[in-house]
Amino acid sequence: MKFETRAIHVGEKPNFKEGATGDVTQPLHLASTYARKDVDTPTAGYEYARTANPTRDALQERLASLEEARYALVFGSGLAAETSLFLALLNSGDHVIAFDDLYGGTRRLFTRIFDEKFGVQISYVDAREVDNVRNAIRDNTKLIWLETPTNPLLKLCDIKAISQLAHEHNITVAVDNTFMSPYFQQPLMLGADIVVHSTTKYINGHSDSVGGALMLSDEFLHEKIKFVQNAAGAILSPFDCYMILRSTKTLSVRMREHQKNALLIAGFLGNHPKVNRVIYPGLESHPQHQLAVQQMSGFGGMVSFELDRDLDAAKRFVENLNYFAVAESLGGVESLIELPALMTHASVPAEERKKIGLADGLIRISVGIEHADDLLQDLDEAFKKI
Ligand SMILES: *Cc1c(COP(=O)(O)O)cnc(C)c1O
Ligand 1 atom nearest to CA at 151 = 13
6 classed as catalytic: no
Distance 102 CA to ligand 1 centre (A): 10
pLDDT in tens, 245-290: 999 999 999 999 999 999 999 999 999 999 999 999 999 999 999 9
188 and 316 inside one domain: no
Average pLDDT value for residue range 340-357: 86
Structural domain ending residue among the three candidates 219, 248, 277: 248
Pocket residue to mutate for ligand 1, from 85, 86, 106, most atoms within 8 A of Cβ: 106
How far is residue 260's CA from residue 169's CA, in Å, rounded to a whole number? 40
* Alpha carbon nearest to ligand 1 atom 1, residue: 198
Bridge partners (DSSP) listed for residue 303: 365
15 and 135 inside one domain: yes
235 and 262 inside one domain: no
pLDDT of residue 117: 97
155: domain CATH number is 3.40.640.10
Q: With contact defined as beta carbons under 8 Å apart, do 97 and 121 qualify?
A: no
pLDDT in tens, 199-213: 999 999 999 999 999
Q: With contact defined as beta carbons under 8 Å apart, do 344 and 338 qualify?
A: yes
176 classed as catalytic: yes
Q: Residue 184 — very low, low, confident or very high, per pLDDT cuts 50/70/90?
A: very high
Q: Residue 345 — very low, low, confident or very high, per pLDDT cuts 50/70/90?
A: confident
How far is residue 358's CA from residue 345's CA, in Å, rounded to a whole number? 9
Q: Residue 309 — very low, low, confident or very high, per pLDDT cuts 50/70/90?
A: confident
pLDDT of residue 3: 98
Cis peptide bond upstream of 42, omega within 30:
no
The per-residue pLDDT of the chain, averaged, comes to 96
pTM of the full predicted structure? 0.96
Distance 179 CA to ligand 1 centre (A): 9
Name which residue leads in pLDDT, 322 or 102.
Answer: 322
235 and 348 inside one domain: no
Whether 356 has a pLDDT exceeding 90, the answer reads no
Which of 6, 62, 201, 254 is labelled catalytic? 201
Task: Give the count of domains, the chain.
Answer: 2
Q: Residue 148 — very low, low, confident or very high, per pLDDT cuts 50/70/90?
A: very high
Average pLDDT value for residue range 344-355: 85
Percentage of the chain modeled with pLDDT above 90? 90
Which of 176, 193, 240, 378 is labelled catalytic? 176
241 and 265 inside one domain: no
2 classed as catalytic: no
Whether 350 has a pLDDT exceeding 90, the answer reads no
Pocket residue to mutate for ligand 1, from 200, 202, 207, most atoms within 8 A of Cβ: 200
Name which residue leads in pLDDT, 202 or 361.
Answer: 202
Percentage of the chain modeled with pLDDT above 70? 100
224 and 367 inside one domain: no
201 and 316 inside one domain: no
170 and 260 inside one domain: no
Of 52-66, 130-144, 150-164, 333-347, the range with the lowest mean pLDDT is: 333-347
241 and 255 inside one domain: no
**What residues make up the domain containing 128?**
3-248
Q: Is the CB of 176 under 6 A from ligand 1?
A: yes
Structural domain ending residue among the three candidates 218, 248, 278: 248
Distance 198 CA to ligand 1 centre (A): 5
Enumerate residues 6+ apart whose C-beta is below 8 A from 318: 324, 326, 337, 338, 339, 363, 382
Q: With contact defined as beta carbons under 8 Å apart, do 281 and 295 qualify?
A: no
162 and 269 inside one domain: no
Q: Is the CB of 193 under 6 A from ligand 1?
A: no
* Alpha carbon nearest to ligand 1 atom 5, residue: 78
Structural domain ending residue among the three candidates 248, 282, 298: 248
pLDDT in tens, 75-101: 999 999 999 999 999 999 999 999 998
366: domain CATH number is 3.90.1150.10
Q: Is the CB of 202 under 6 A from ligand 1?
A: no
